[in-house]
Structure formats: structure tokens, C-alpha cells
Amino acid sequence: MSRIQNVVTAYLRAKDHNRPHLMRQAFAPDARLEMVVNAGTISFPPLAQGIEAITEVLVRQFSRSFENVHTLCIGAPPTEDLPRYGCQWLVGMSEKDSRAVRVGCGRYDWVFESAPPRLASRLTITIEQMLSLAPEHLAPLMAWISNLSAPWCAASELTTGAPAIAELQTVIDYFA
């Protein structure tokens, strides 16, 4: 596994499983997070500077609101430790308070330090879609998303076993 794969995997494990301590395996102390939200159903601060601020936004605050989080990077994993890496992402989760199901997609654009340990110095997260679905969709959505290859999944795999939820098609189409 490349160092870049380890960094991305550490970030996903930290965010999805509410493990703030893992963020130090993903981000440099002075890293920068930029959020571009093109979907009106979720909000994040547009900028966080430093590992503590990034951890607060992406792990601590996030886990106060969401559970059952599954995030996948769509496409091939990075095979080399390049200075930049970009990929699309898919997330499925539920809101703790309302139990509404969330399904979203967008893009990660990573920039890594040039010297070891090659942690992320910058991450731009673009949220293109964030659907809010009724709570009864949680079981079929989780059955589908948890059976996809993780943390990297081929776009062609997304239609395999996808639940028959009409709204979900716009997310699947994003990866076409």
C-alpha cells in the first residue's frame, strides 16, 4: 500500500468511525481544509486551518450529527506517492436526531507534503449532492453500501445491488 493510500485510509477511518486520534496519521499539523458545498442540504465551514480545526470539523462535529457513516473513494487507489491525488467519493449515513438517511457524492482533492511522512497538507472536499431520504431507506442503503469494495470502489460496481430508491439514481449517475 502506498503512503498516500495509508493517509487517505486513516482519514476515512477517523471520520467514519469517530476516531479523532487517527487524524494525525492523515494531516500535517498546519494542514488546510477547504469545503466547497454545491448541495443545499448540508453545511460546513468553508475553511479550517490546522489539524485541530480540521479534526473538530470532520470528526468531532460530524460525529455529533451523523452515524452509520460509510465513505468510499470511487476509482483506482493511488499506486505511487504523488504530490497530488484526486478522486470522487460516495457517502451513506444517517442523522442521529431525525434518523433521516443521507447519501452524497463529490470529489476529494488532496495535496501531500513533499518529504516523509507525506501527510496531507491540503484537502479540498467538494460536495456535489447530498440527498436526504426517509429513515425507512436506511437498511437497504446500508446493505448496499457496506457490500461495496472499500475504501476504493470502481464506479461500475455502484449499480450492483443498489436499492430501488428513485432518488438514489441521481447519485449513481454522478459517477457515470
Global pTM? 0.96
Residue 110 CA to residue 123 CA, distance in Å, equals: 5
Q: What is the pLDDT along the chain (176 residues), one digit of tens a residue?
A: 899 999 999 999 999 999 999 999 999 999 999 999 998 788 899 999 999 999 999 999 999 999 999 999 999 999 888 999 999 999 999 999 999 999 999 999 999 999 999 999 999 999 999 999 999 999 999 999 999 999 999 999 999 899 999 999 999 999 98
Task: Give the other-Cβ count within 10 Å of 96's Cβ.
Answer: 13
Domain covering 3-174 in this structure, CATH number: 3.10.450.50
- Residue 48: the pLDDT is 98
Cβ atoms of residues 142 and 125 within 8 Å: no
Q: CA 71, CA 126: separation in Å to the nearest integer?
A: 14
What pLDDT is recorded for position 174? 97
Contact predicate 96/133, CB 8 Å: no
Measured in Å, how far apart are the chain's first and last C-alpha atoms? 27
pLDDT of residue 1: 84
Query: Domains of the chain: which residue ranges?
Result: 3-174
Among residues 137, 23, 12, the alpha carbon closest in space to that of 73 is found at 12
- Provide the pLDDT for residue 172: 95
